[in-house]
């Protein structure tokens, strides 16, 4: 059930790269077919997913290098399902958004599909070392995508991205190795590690390594300095993948391995995590206000919105964590539409500077539909009711206020500041008088607007019907919270045990240490 998520884009990448003399349009069509097939398979998984069960499903196990504790082991819960769906959607959107006449098309589309395959595998990996390998697979392809097809300062941005991501991987590997060695686990299987009761000092050290590692990937302040250069230098499709999907590997890792493996230390660190989230939210918003480049402004906005995800995780309530999981999807969709529209504006107008752009809403000589969609994306990012951004942020704030009222109020202030910089962006870009010196812009074709139409439709639909988004992650969020040491929510022990695949142990027994069971009332 889960292996096709990796194999479909991987086979597509291999076929496109090895097909001799493949024209640019045919390479693009092949990539669209491969990514579309992966998206359809993901939709099929939604129909087979059991919403009544918050644990892992579709378990796959294959011995690989047992002497090293490395096995091919996949499973999916609500968190994984949402992230896989986001990856499949954004990959297809990014390929469609690419220039049909792009240089070296076979290499470009092969690298995009390879990134998608690695990310999908990471989201369903149930072996710590397998997650690390898949986490690192995207490093070189993304470096090449930025260094070859990027814009100004592409070599500098690609090198900076490479160094930061390599450091993130090294810290994560150290945390995983330390966890396995100190716990005495026989291999790197997730459930073989998660239940061991390590001393709090070691839990704090290991969790600290993972916080820094995944904090770089998200990124959160002060590990964010690679983000603006990388996002701005990357081409539109690559920027959509970076912000819409790759950043979610960081938040996914925090919840899956930080909260999942070290719930005691997470509970101790939670006040500091909430403060860290508030600082990131305010810093991202204030810095975005000061930008003159609209792409850089959108890039800085990402820092703030990922802070909401951390705030929801720090609050450790069902509602806040459900909001955090939903916010990851919401942020990916909103950031994708904003980067796509900024790319269209740059292509048609020739600039991204706020001091130059104006009057794009002009119905005759401007880009009226692009401007209207940009207004929608800005409103969603600012959390306007009726759009998906409002729903997810409200869930986070509602769930975190009781635990951390000050940090939550700072997050609400960050939402207000988000509205400020998007009002600045929209007022200067879309409204005002169109400069007669650049009177007529090339028309935007339906093909160029299609990705924005799809994403805008999701923003509206999930804003009006949020349960279509929230219901997939809610059971998993409840189960995560139930495993925290201080929780007294009524949980049936059998439901917790049932999420463990029966074949985790050689004798078919259940490998669930008693320490991982939630406290029952």
Q: Are 378 and 422 in contact (CB under 8 A)?
A: yes
Q: Please name the residues in contact with 156: beta carbons below 8 A apart, sequence gap of 6 or more.
A: 229, 233
62: DSSP letter: E
State the average pLDDT over residues 338-355: 89
**Per-residue pLDDT for 511 more than 50?**
no
E strands present in 11-136: 57-65, 70-76
**Residue 58 backbone phi and psi in degrees, to 5:** 60, 45
Please compute Rg for the chain using Cα positions: 22
pLDDT digits (tens, 9 = 90+) for 147-160: 999 888 899 999 99
Q: How far is CA 295 from CA 84, 165, 425, in A?
A: 26, 22, 10
Count the residues in the chain.
521
Q: Please name the residues in contact with 72: beta carbons below 8 A apart, sequence gap of 6 or more.
A: 60, 61, 62, 63, 64, 127, 130
**Per-residue pLDDT for 422 more than 50?**
yes
pLDDT band at 438 (very low <50, low <70, confident <90, very high): low
Complete DSSP assignment for 244-274: IIIHHHHHHHIIIIIIHH-HHHHHHHHHHHH
Tell whether the torsion through CA atoms of 249, 491, 404 and 258 is positive or negative.
negative
Q: What's the rounded Cα separation, in Å, for the pair 330 and 342? A: 18
Count of H helices and E strands in the chain? 22, 2
Domain boundaries in the chain? 2-483
Q: What's the rounded Cα separation, in Å, for the pair 165 and 247? A: 11
| Residue among 185, 203, 184 nearest 261 (CA) | 203
pLDDT digits (tens, 9 = 90+) for 248-296: 999 999 999 999 889 889 999 999 999 999 999 999 999 999 888 899 9
Q: Which of 35-39, 201-205, 412-416, 487-491 has the lowest mean pLDDT?
A: 487-491
Burial per residue of 283-304, b for 16 or more beta-carbon CB atoms within 10 angstroms, e otherwise: bbbebbbebebbbbbbbbbbbb
């Amino acid at each position: 059930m889960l292996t096709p998520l990796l194999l479909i884009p991987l086979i597509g990448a291999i076929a496109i790269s090895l097909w001799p003399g493949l024209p640019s349009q045919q390479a693009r069509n092949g990539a669209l077919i491969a990514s579309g097939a992966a998206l359809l398979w993901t939709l099929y998984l939604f129909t087979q997913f059991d919403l009544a069960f918050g644990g892992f499903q579709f378990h796959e196990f294959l011995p690989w290098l047992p002497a090293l504790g490395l096995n091919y082991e996949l499973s999916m819960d609500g968190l994984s399902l949402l992230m896989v769906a986001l990856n499949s959607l954004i990959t297809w959107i990014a390929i469609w958004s690419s220039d049909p006449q792009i240089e070296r098309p076979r290499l470009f589309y092969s690298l995009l599909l390879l990134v998608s395959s690695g990310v999908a595998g990471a989201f369903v990996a149930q072996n710590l070392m397998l997650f690390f390998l898949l986490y690192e697979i995207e490093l070189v392809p993304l470096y090449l995508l930025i260094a070859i097809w990027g814009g100004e300062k592409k070599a500098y941005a690609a090198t900076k991205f490479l160094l930061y991501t390599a450091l993130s991987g090294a810290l994560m590997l150290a945390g995983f190795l330390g966890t396995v060695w100190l716990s005495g686990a026989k291999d790197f299987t997730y459930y073989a590690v998660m239940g061991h009761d390590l001393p709090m000092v070691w839990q704090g050290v290991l969790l600290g390594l993972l916080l820094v590692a995944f904090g770089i990937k998200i990124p959160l302040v002060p590990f964010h300095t690679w983000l603006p250069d990388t996002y701005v230098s990357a081409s539109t499709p690559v920027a959509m993948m970076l912000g819409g999907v790759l950043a979610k590997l960081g938040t996914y890792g925090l919840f899956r391995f930080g909260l999942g493996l070290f719930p005691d230390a997470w509970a101790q660190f939670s006040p500091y995590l909430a403060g860290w989230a508030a600082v990131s939210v305010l810093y991202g918003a204030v810095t975005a206000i000061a930008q003159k480049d609209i792409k850089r402004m959108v890039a800085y906005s990402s820092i703030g919105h990922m802070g909401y995800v951390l705030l929801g995780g720090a609050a450790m309530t069902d509602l806040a964590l459900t909001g955090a999981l939903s916010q990851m999807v919401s942020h990916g969709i909103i950031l994708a539409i904003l980067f796509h529209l900024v790319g269209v504006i740059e292509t048609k107008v020739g600039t991204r500077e706020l001091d130059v752009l104006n009057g794009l809403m002009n119905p005759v000589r401007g880009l009226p539909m692009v401007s209207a969609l940009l207004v929608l994306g800005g409103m969603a990012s600012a959390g306007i009711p009726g759009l998906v951004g409002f729903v997810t942020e409200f869930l986070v704030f509602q769930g975190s206020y009781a635990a951390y009222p000050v940090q939550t109020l700072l997050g609400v202030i960050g939402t207000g500041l988000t509205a400020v910089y998007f009002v600045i962006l929209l007022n200067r870009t879309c409204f005002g008088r169109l400069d007669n010196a650049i009177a007529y812009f090339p028309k935007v074709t339906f093909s160029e607007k299609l990705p924005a139409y799809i994403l805008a439709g999701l923003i509206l639909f999930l804003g009006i019907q949020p349960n279509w988004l929230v219901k997939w992650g809610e059971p998993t969020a409840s189960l995560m919270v139930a495993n925290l040491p201080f929780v007294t929510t009524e949980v049936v022990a059998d439901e917790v045990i049932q999420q463990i695949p029966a074949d985790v142990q050689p004798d078919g027994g259940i490998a669930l240490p008693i320490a991982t069971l939630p406290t029952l009332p």
